[in-house]
Structure 1
Amino acid sequence: MSKGKLFVVAGPSGAGKATLVHALLAADAKVQLSVSFTSRAPREGEQDGRDYHFVSREDFLARVNRGEFLEHAEVHGNLYGTSQKWITDSMASGLDILLEIDVQGAQQVRRLFKEAVGIFILPPSGDILEQRLRNRGTESEDAIVRRLANAREEISRVEEFDYVIVNEHIDQAVRDIIGIVRAERCRLAAQSERHQALITSLKG
């Protein structure tokens, strides 16, 4: 069985990462989302085990000490981490895994998984990014200012990624992220491993 691929999706808060990720998961059953651990409280409508594994800060730090995380970072005062065992086991079973994480976490993952495919989501403008954050209605003014400052810092590292999607028109952005996943599956190395017998037989 061929090994699955690891896709890392990052971008500033408000760029629309979650929307694109959910659309990709709905369109492609071969892609599984890695559910991160976090110390933050659930937002309205979020479910434990589906959106995040919600744990206490103490529990999270204990998992760090046990070496359970592939990557972990503190973002906006909250801790986030990715289970290393789940990622490794899932990829070994042939599943493609999707990580939606911050830029700091993406760097850690790609340091350990050189073959990971990085996808960065950009907003069409700074004004639209700010508007999206305000339209959520869940952030204080201080939190919005902090997120906009963090966005500038994250966007300055866009060159670290393989693909960039400008999320201006959602339908086009969804087609873009689905196309990236399908293109990566068609790379020579992946197809040679997946269809070795076929290629050998066709060579005569």
Structure 2
Amino acid sequence: MRGTLYIVAAPSGAGKSSIVNAVLARDPNICLSISFTSRAPRPGERHAEHYHFVSAPEFERMVEAGDFFENALVHGDWKGTARQSVEPQLASGMDVLLEIDWQGARQVRDKVPDAVSVFILPPSRQALEHRMRGRGQDSEEVIAQRLAAAREEMSHYIEFDYVIVNENFAVAVDEMCAIFTTSRLRREAQVARHSRLITQLLADE
């Protein structure tokens, strides 16, 4: 049966990547789609592991070629999910997780209405700012821009199926895993997965 597409979005600094990485380590039935971006790598980021890093002209060439499942301009840089990172995995029955922003999530939902979407919120604006500063990677000007953008991003939580507040990291990871489990237990998925069993159970003696 076809895999399920999951969308996870959050403002910068909400802990999205940490939660996603912890969930992927726990759940072998889901894989992460590695996004493309035109921005430069941050300290510690590696090509094809955190992102596929390409130049802006190369990214725009890929957009014109129709290579992307979704793409958006985020904080002045392009980000997008290539079709080859999603479709083959779903067709093979593997669940795929997209770690993207709300703009990309909207594009994906238009193409895949049954995608399951999750938005992660910080426990407070103070905690969000503290996490941004804790990275030690951005200037004060960049932090101010990201905080302003975060308010706009968080206003789109209403477009998502589930909302997780990342106040306690371990709890947030458990909640994300619970969403995956619940999704796999939906009637339609279970009927497709256990059609033979259901037929046998309902057969006349």
TM, length-normalised to structure 1: 0.98
CA RMSD of aligned residues (A): 0.7
When the two structures are aligned, how many residues end up with a matched partner?
203
The one-letter code sitting in structure 2 at the alignment partner of 1:188 is R
The CA distance in 1 between the partners of 2:84 and 2:135, in whole Å, is: 34
Q: What corresponds to 1:134 in structure 2?
A: 133
- CA shift, 1:45, in A, is 1.4
- CA shift, 1:3, in A, is 0.5
The one-letter code sitting in structure 1 at the alignment partner of 2:175 is D
The CA distance in 2 between the partners of 1:155 and 1:46, in whole Å, is: 25
Q: Deviations over 1:83-134 (max 9, x none)?
A: 1233111101000000000111111111111001110000000110011101
The equivalences for 1:119-158 within 5 A come to 119-158=118-157
The equivalences for 1:34-113 within 5 A come to 34-113=33-112
SS state at 1:108 partner: helix
2:203 maps to 1:201:
no
The CA distance in 1 between the partners of 2:49 and 2:29, in whole Å, is: 17
The one-letter code sitting in structure 2 at the alignment partner of 1:8 is I
- CA shift, 1:75, in A, is 0.8
TM, length-normalised to structure 2: 0.97
Identity of aligned residues (%): 52
Q: Which runs of 5+ in 1 are unaligned?
A: none
SS state at 1:80 partner: strand
The one-letter code sitting in structure 2 at the alignment partner of 1:42 is P
Q: Deviations over 1:1-30 (max 9, x none)?
A: x10000000010000000110011000111
Q: Which runs of 5+ in 2 are unaligned?
A: none
Tell me if the contact between 2:34 and 2:85 (Cα under 8 Å) persists in the aligned partners: no
- CA shift, 1:44, in A, is 1.4
- CA shift, 1:43, in A, is 1.3
Tell me if the contact between 2:34 and 2:48 (Cα under 8 Å) persists in the aligned partners: yes
Q: What corresponds to 1:161 in structure 2?
A: 160
Tell me if the contact between 2:3 and 2:93 (Cα under 8 Å) persists in the aligned partners: yes
The CA distance in 2 between the partners of 1:184 and 1:37, in whole Å, is: 27
Q: Deviations over 1:156-197 (max 9, x none)?
A: 111100000000000100000001001100000001011100
